[in-house]
Amino acid sequence: MKIGVIGAGVVGQTVGEAFAAKGHEVVLGTRAVTEEELAKPRSMAVPLKDWATRTSIPVATFREAARHGEILVNATAGGIALDALALAGKDAIGSKVIIDIANPIDFTPGAIDPSRGLMASVPALTNSTSVGEEIQRAYPEARVVKALNTANIAVGVAPKSLGGDIDTFIAGDDATAKALVTDLLKAFGWSTVIDLGDITGARGTEQFIVLWFRLMVTLGTPTFGIKVVK
């Protein structure tokens, strides 16, 4: 399928490459596509020029990526996700499936304390709402599916790499969209995809980031997974 990835950080790059490896036609979206911008170092990710050369995946504007995709991926920080999607444009988003990977991490100074494993969420995107819900509200025709936001993205695209059988979660209002995303996740190697129901299920998975961060500091690694046992 044609997949447009909105966001070119470590998550967009990793997911984009993983989808392409499964045979999908990916375009990776970023804000600035000048030669100079593409060559710039990126925190946690490689310069887009190097990435595009290595993967042979086109890098384009958010709008071009959104136009290209039959399925879209939101791979931006929760606090600015609506800004990024606005650049993609309502007409390009239409009624497409949006796989929303964002977490509402609060990046204001002092909100994150790695020495204590403390992370906070953006207050306006928590408690009685979530990034997933806000995207669905802003784009009512689109079919938002929250997914892949409860594990490090390297685990997200290769869950079997941990050597165990771990679980992942989806939430969204559209059953057909969730079935499609479940198939995409299974192709990455997830055997158990737990459907949390409508898009309000995103509240719980997005708030897992606070425990995820403490676990990462406690365990000394970002590569671990969740197994739900009844």
Give the footprint of ligand NAP on this chain (CB under 6 A). 7-12, 30-32, 44, 75-78, 80, 83-84, 87, 101-103, 105, 148-149, 152-153
Residue written as token pair 């595009």: 52
For residues 61 and 8, the answer to whether their CB atoms sit within 8 Å is no
Least distance in angstroms from the C-beta of 114 to ligand NAP:
14
Q: For residues 24 and 42, which CB has a smaller minimum distance to ligand NAP in the complex?
A: 42
Q: Which is nearer to ligand NAP, 86 or 187 (CB)?
A: 86
**Angle of CA points 24, 26, 27, to nearest 5°:** 170
Cross-sheet strand order for the sheet of 97-100: 59-61, 25-30, 2-6, 71-74, 97-100, 143-147, 167-172, 192-195
Smallest distance from ligand NAP to CB 230, Å: 25
Find the shortest distance in angstroms from Cβ 137 to ligand NAP: 18
Residue whose CB is less far from ligand NAP, 77 or 176: 77
Of all residues in the shown chain, the one whose CB is closest to ligand NAP is 9
Task: Tell me if 141 sits within 8 A of 94, measured CB to CB.
Answer: yes
Q: Which is nearer to ligand NAP, 9 or 58 (CB)?
A: 9
Residue spans of alpha helices (H) in 29-174: 35-39, 48-55, 62-68, 81-88, 90-93, 131-138, 153-156
Nearer to ligand NAP (CB atom), residue 102 or residue 181? 102
Min CB(130)–ligand NAP separation in Å: 12
Shortest distance, position 44 Cβ to ligand NAP, whole Å: 6
Q: What is the amino acid identity at position 126?
A: T
Q: What is the DSSP string of 21-47?
A: HTT-EEEEEES--SHHHHHS-BTTB--
